[in-house]
Amino acid sequence: MSDPRIYPLTFAPVLRDYLWGGRRLATLYGRDLPAGAVAESWEISGHPHGSTAAARGFWEGQPLPAILDALGEQLVGSRAGWALARRKFPLLVKLLDARQDLSLQVHPDDEYALVHENGELGKTEMWYVLHTDPGASLILGLKPGTTRRSFEAALAADRVETVLNRVPIAAGQSVAVPTGTVHALLAGTVVAEIQQNSDTTYRVYDWGRLGADGKPRALHIDKALDVSNFDQPAAGIVQPRLISEAAGVVRRELIRNRYFVIEELALSPGSAFQGRCDGSTLEIWGCMQGEVAVECDGAASVTLPAIRFGLLPATLGAFEIAASTPSVCLRAYLPEVVFAAAA
């Protein structure tokens, strides 16, 4: 008999109402939102700032950290030993709706965060662009030749735009945001974000904006300067790498780093992708366009419409992602290279 605790998991999102948010998660994707601005929807999260609860099945109503405590490696896989040692779910999945520009910010790596942020890990992330207004762009890194001194001088003189690398973007593109990358998601953009399970952000510039209390929001300039990568080459949009193309399924790799691998799969109507969770890693699937069904032995089929995510436990076994319409999915899993985060 199959284990009733192991099945494709879906979650009730946790919403965040930062001042730069909007309403497009409702108008574009039919989300049922409370009144007011909604900046972020945490889709799959085990972070204490917003843990998502299972929406169905044996674990219905249970937060992801409790499921992780109960299942451990059965949930996240043998490649996640570093995360299990810290009792942390390895990834965090969000949707972001930028009605206004986000602050200019940067994230630390593990080593810096562990020292300065009470044991929190760093934050490597990626964005998959879901929607853009005409002319949309984002800030990704600094212009070549920018040094710590020239960046600090530009901040002090309120001319930070002169040292920022601005990149045009369009729906369907992907952006890698390694730690140390000065960046900002700008107005007119909706993205899906997959990242380390961390909420560590250093705000370095906020465009002269006031917070809801009428005061400037806090900046973290010293820490931001400490962790910013001034030797980073000019960054741009990710160029996907074709993995395979057969039977109506086109599979491309978008991102690969020490924390996660992200693939994009385009499925024709009636086609299906067959995979297997063999105990080495969890898989997170998100339907970006169309609609797919997640099927596996011993568990009810789960439908993922656009824009929804599901978590496949590491010991789930064989599964199938079947498309009823032209569909595009993201697939996230942990890489084979196992590493130990700094103590």
Alpha-carbon gap, residue 70 to 92, rounded angstroms: 19
Active-site residue, selected from the candidate residues 203, 251, 308, 331: 203
Tell me the longest C-alpha to C-alpha distance in the chain.
Answer: 67
Q: Count Cβ atoms below 10 Å from residue 148 Cβ, excluding itself.
A: 11
Closest by CA to 195, choosing from 88, 118, 270, 298, is: 88
How many residues are given for the chain? 343
Instruction: Answer for the pair 96, 169: CB distance below 8 angstroms, yes or no.
Output: no
Instruction: Answer for the pair 274, 284: CB distance below 8 angstroms, yes or no.
Output: no
Closest by CA to 185, choosing from 101, 124, 106, 92, is: 101
Instruction: Answer for the pair 202, 106: CB distance below 8 angstroms, yes or no.
Output: yes
Annotated active-site residue 24? The verdict is no
Q: Count Cβ atoms below 10 Å from residue 171 Cβ, excluding itself.
A: 15
Q: Count Cβ atoms below 10 Å from residue 142 Cβ, excluding itself.
A: 25
- Quick one: DSSP state of residue 206? -
Positions marked active-site = 203
